[in-house]
A and B are shown apart, each in its own frame.
Chain A
Amino acid sequence: MNAGLPGTGIGGIFYLASALVMPFREVYRRLRGHPVGDWRVVTGQLAITGGILGAMWVTGWLLGLALATARPIGTAGAALPPGNVLRFVSIALAFGTLAAVLAGVELLRLWVHRGRRSASHIRQETPLSHERSVVQQWRRVASLVVLAVIAAPVSLAQSPRRPPMRVHLARADSAWAARAESVAAREYAAVLAADPENSHATYRLAQLTRDDPAALRLFQRYVELEPEDPWGYMAVADALSRAGRYAEALRSYDAALRLAPGEPEAVAGRAKVFAPARAAAPAVTPLVSGSRDSDGNTTFRLGGSAELQARGPLRLGVEASHDRVTDGVSTAGLAQLALRAAWRPSRLASVEGALGGTRLERSDSGSTTVVPTGRVRARWRRSTHGVTVDVRAQRAVLAASPLLVNNRVLRTELRALVEIPVTRTLKLRGLGRTALLRDTADLNHRTALGGVVAVALSPAIELSGQVHQIRYSHASTAGYFAPRLAQVVEAGSYLELETPRGWLLAIDVGAGAQRVAEFGGQPGPWSRALRWYSLITAPLAPGRALQLEIEGEDSMVAREAATTAGAWRYGSAALSLRWAL
């Protein structure tokens, strides 16, 4: 059904004005960082509005001409052409009426939704009762009109002064009810300026500035003003948890529960922040790992990391390690130190990185060199099952053998992975990597391209078919194997199992074939290519877990590590303990 009379009265003017406001509203929303609307709709409606305004102008002009030939249009417009008088009068009348009606509605709203409501009401917003009689309601409307008529001259006669606090409060509550947040915030602030101990305004203003650290201070102020209200403590806890201060949030929930034992929202809120409180707590993670390859190279690493208390989406930390690399004859050493940061602005996006330096201890001369190293990784997912983009940049030392360390081989790499879900179970992945390998005497270039078709049998199991191709710009004598071309065809499987008690087992295996073409030669025969990676996490207590990683590879050209020869097998194990303080 339609309400009113389309095309008549002030309805048409109202929608014309609404359409004209659209582009300004869009620009305003864009500037304020709010979600913007559909520009197609805006331009479409603007075009219609322009057409209507044009039609109105032409109609007024034609009518004016017609009336001028019929009879003069009064004395008021004697100096103006009749068309202009008509247009002026009709536009003034229409917009004046519309403005009066809209102003009347706003006045009525302020009057009807006036009055102060306690903070406890804020949490129990219920639709207003319909039970009041219509007669009573209309009597109020009539009274408002009469009052407005009487009050207008009086107000005009009075000198300008600031409205009393209760007027601000009424305006604020009305704006709150209408979800006009900026107006409500301004009015509540005005209330607090006049009455700093108004707990209702304090609570509401805090709710309106939820994303601002000021909200926390306001909620804490509310708790000072209303120390017996458990909801105040819960609001403080909620604000603290939003700010990533989970331990303090826990304490506030405990305070709320002391005042309101068993309050479901406090219990649920406490349970919600308990795990992140442990996860966000400062933690240390000592680590020990070792590896050995078929060329006789052995590495041993002792290291660890320390994370500071997480502050909202940001977490800072430091990591350090010392590696010893030996081939049975000579031994080189590496010491790494880096500051690291992780930022997770939303559930679907994250950025993490580390920046520091690596000190190389050569085995031949015993001299040391420090080189800057670091990494940054950005991940973004459009939705839970949407397109995923994973971009990484890294500068690291190749340290699979003493020779590589002695030659100071540094790899600076940029890699990108794009995952496109075709269906909920079928995903396509494309990988691209480009790396510069610089050593004391040479500069090499490595490119790798890959494609993966993955089928998720369940959320925990995935099968994939993969094709990869790796190229080097030339051969190297710095200690890493650099063929002209390596091709890998592989079937892979990824499995992830997690128990209700927090045990986690993840296995990533691949089996396939690969062939290599050295510089000046044709691709050799296909040979096997096997890889294995597994991760076991054993929870010890909330925030404390033991983690074991085991990795193995049997291939000529590893996709991740630096192989030291054309036939290469490799195995490694790493054990770490995360201990939240």
Chain B
Amino acid sequence: MIVPAFNEAASVADTIRSLQAQTARPREIIVVDDCSTDGTGDVARALGVTVVRPPANTGSKAGAQTFALRYVRTSLTIAVDADTVLAADAIERLLPAFGQPRVAAACGFVLPQRVRSVWERGRYVEYLFAFTFYKQVQEYYGKPLISSGCFSMYRTTILRTQRGWSDRTLAEDMDLTWNLYQAGYAVRFVPEAVCYPIEPRTFRLMGTQLQRWSHGFVQNVKLHWRDLLAVPYLRSAVAVAFWDATVAAAVYLVALPALALLLASPWVLLGYVIDAPAVLVPVLAGAFQRREVGRALASVPAFFLLRTVNAVFFLRAVCAELLLGRPLRHYKKGH
């Protein structure tokens, strides 16, 4: 089990404890102290796990994870972010997915660890929506779009064949997932395996994360589009996501206000929330299973704010990466 960590002293202990409390306990927990300056390595060492440290900061999560891959001696490798805690049975729930030899990776249901600020609330609803509806449909068609980077399990031999995680894009999890599909492997989504990452609390942190995600998505589409065309269903899912990130975002940010001005009707602005009842259905279905209906209802308005901000970042990323030829290369942590 690999836990990449750079200056995560505040959260890595919770992560390690949640791993040590698993019903299916990992054989070895390897924390990659990516040359932290806040004593992350010491915290991890005190909890009795293996700590490895590269000679210099690897510059990205992908670099830190790939550095640790050489120390893995098990047939399955789990990558968990240092700010993520797992439900006690998460690993146990994920393991059966590897009963089929073609399965190279599996991921679980993601929910924010803390749901307090408006951004955390927005992300909470976004995850409830996406993991209750979109991802489950993707799983049914055998093509989850991404094996989430915050918690995924991989078959080690295949991971090594892929040379670990690549830092050529800012979304190493998406890059690896799509590479696996192109190599003919399967990826699974197991909704019962739940993990809880810490989500950005403030707008600044959220902005950093959204910038990384949006650029990472566009970079991956740019890099993989040709090969993705050979992967059924995934090609449609990616095309639709790309369309929404570009055209739909433009309509959302430009066309709706322009139309409201043109028609001099504030009713048009209802377009921003017109799908609220439809969004509520999967959100409440997911929240009901977790007995969090009240929290979900209270968080729904934040989702629409986050979605608007999200649209801005995706549109900017598309312009920068594809039209202006200014790719983002520097990996910045989102919190």
Contact pattern, B 249-260, Cβ under 8 Å of A = 1, otherwise 0: 101100000000
Instruction: For the complex formed, measure the closest distance between the CB of A258 and the CB atoms of chain B, giving whole angstroms.
Output: 32
Q: Is B282 an interface residue (CB 8 A)?
A: yes
**B241 and A178: CB pair below 8 A?**
no
**A137 and B226: CB pair below 8 A?**
yes
Using A45-B133, A70-B265 as known contacts, say yes or no to A101 and B232 having CB atoms under 8 A apart.
Answer: no
Give complex CA distance A4, B171 in Å.
14
CB-contacts of B124-181 with A (<8 A): 126-127, 129-130, 132-134, 136-137, 139-141, 145-146, 148-149, 171, 173-174, 179
CB-contacts of A3-46 with B (<8 A): 3-12, 14-15, 18-19, 22, 37-38, 41-42, 44-45
**A4 and B244: CB pair below 8 A?**
yes
**B235 and A9: CB pair below 8 A?**
no
Nearest CB in chain B to that of A104: its residue: B239
Contacts of A108 in B (CB 8 A): 229
Give complex CA distance A51, B280 in Å.
9
Using A9-B247, A127-B182, A127-B227 as known contacts, say yes or no to A41 and B240 having CB atoms under 8 A apart.
Answer: no
**A15 and B137: CB pair below 8 A?**
yes
**A18 and B137: CB pair below 8 A?**
yes
Contacts of B232 in A (CB 8 A): 178-180
**A4 and B245: CB pair below 8 A?**
yes
Give complex CA distance A190, B249 in Å.
43
**A6 and B307: CB pair below 8 A?**
yes
**B244 and A112: CB pair below 8 A?**
no
The contact of A101 among B243, B267, B275, B310, by CB within 8 Å, is: B243
CB-contacts of B209-261 with A (<8 A): 213, 216-217, 222-223, 225-227, 229-232, 235-245, 247-249, 251-252
Using A9-B243, A12-B278, A108-B229 as known contacts, say yes or no to A130 and B171 having CB atoms under 8 A apart.
Answer: no
Q: Is B274 an interface residue (CB 8 A)?
A: yes
Nearest CB in chain B to that of A50: its residue: B281
**A5 and B311: CB pair below 8 A?**
yes
B interface: dominant SS? helix
**A102 and B265: CB pair below 8 A?**
no
Nearest CB in chain A to that of B243: its residue: A101
Give complex CA distance A58, B280 in Å.
13
Contacts of B216 in A (CB 8 A): 1
- Count how many pairs of residues, one from A and one from B, have CB atoms less than 8 Å apart in the complex: 176
Nearest CB in chain A to that of B140: its residue: A41
Give complex CA distance A14, B138 in Å.
11
Contacts of A4 in B (CB 8 A): 217, 240-242, 244-245, 248, 314
Nearest CB in chain A to that of B237: its residue: A14
Contacts of B247 in A (CB 8 A): 9
CB-contacts of A50-104 with B (<8 A): 51-52, 55-56, 58-59, 63, 66-67, 70-71, 97-98, 101-102, 104
Nearest CB in chain B to that of A42: its residue: B140
Instruction: For the complex formed, measure the closest distance between the CB of B99 and the CB atoms of chain A, giving whole angstroms.
Output: 10
**A48 and B240: CB pair below 8 A?**
no
Q: Is B277 an interface residue (CB 8 A)?
A: yes
Contact pattern, A 491-531, Cβ under 8 Å of B = 1, otherwise 0: 00000000000000000000000000000000000000000
Q: Is B285 an interface residue (CB 8 A)?
A: yes
**A6 and B130: CB pair below 8 A?**
yes
Chain A CB count within 10 A is highest, among B249, B282, B311, for B282
Contacts of A102 in B (CB 8 A): 236, 239-240
Instruction: For the complex formed, measure the closest distance between the CB of B220 and the CB atoms of chain A, giving whole angstroms.
Output: 9
Chain A CB count within 10 A is highest, among B247, B277, B280, for B277
Interface size on B, residues (CB 8 A): 69
Q: Is B324 an interface residue (CB 8 A)?
A: no
Give complex CA distance A178, B223 in Å.
19
**A130 and B126: CB pair below 8 A?**
no
Give complex CA distance A37, B142 in Å.
10
Give complex CA distance A3, B235 in Å.
13
Nearest CB in chain A to that of B209: its residue: A1
Contact pattern, B 268-295, Cβ under 8 Å of A = 1, otherwise 0: 0010001111111110010000000000
Contacts of A70 in B (CB 8 A): 265, 267
Instruction: For the complex formed, measure the closest distance between the CB of B304 and the CB atoms of chain A, giving whole angstroms.
Output: 9
Q: Is A369 an interface residue (CB 8 A)?
A: no
Using A6-B126, A9-B243, A112-B226 as known contacts, say yes or no to A19 and B137 having CB atoms under 8 A apart.
Answer: yes
Give complex CA distance A17, B232 in Å.
16
**A71 and B265: CB pair below 8 A?**
yes
Q: Is A177 an interface residue (CB 8 A)?
A: yes
**A48 and B282: CB pair below 8 A?**
yes
Q: Is B183 an interface residue (CB 8 A)?
A: yes
The contact of A3 among B129, B146, B278, B281, by CB within 8 Å, is: B146
**A3 and B245: CB pair below 8 A?**
yes
Using A14-B237, A52-B281 as known contacts, say yes or no to A1 and B226 having CB atoms under 8 A apart.
Answer: no
**A44 and B274: CB pair below 8 A?**
no
Chain B CB count within 10 A is highest, among A5, A7, A70, A134, for A7
**A18 and B229: CB pair below 8 A?**
no
Q: Is A113 an interface residue (CB 8 A)?
A: yes
The contact of A12 among B145, B226, B251, B275, by CB within 8 Å, is: B275
**A55 and B280: CB pair below 8 A?**
yes
Instruction: For the complex formed, measure the closest distance between the CB of A183 and the CB atoms of chain B, giving whole angstroms.
Output: 10
**B267 and A5: CB pair below 8 A?**
no
**B174 and A3: CB pair below 8 A?**
yes
Give complex CA distance A127, B270 in Å.
46
Nearest CB in chain B to that of A109: its residue: B229
CB-contacts of A134-166 with B (<8 A): 134, 137-138
Chain B CB count within 10 A is highest, among A9, A41, A47, for A9
Contacts of B277 in A (CB 8 A): 55-56, 58-59
Contacts of A59 in B (CB 8 A): 274-278
- List A residues at the B interface (Cβ < 8 Å): 1-12, 14-15, 18-19, 22, 37-38, 41-42, 44-45, 47-48, 51-52, 55-56, 58-59, 63, 66-67, 70-71, 97-98, 101-102, 104-105, 108-109, 112-113, 127-128, 130, 132, 134, 137-138, 174, 177-180
Please name 18 further chain A to chain B contacts, defined as beta carbons within 8 Å, in addition to the given A2-B213, A48-B133, A70-B267, sorted by A numbering.
A1-B148, A1-B171, A3-B146, A3-B241, A5-B252, A7-B307, A22-B140, A41-B140, A51-B282, A59-B275, A59-B277, A63-B274, A102-B236, A102-B240, A112-B226, A132-B226, A134-B222, A138-B322
Rank and list the top 3 A-B pairs by shortest CB-CB distance, nearest first: A9-B248, A4-B241, A55-B277
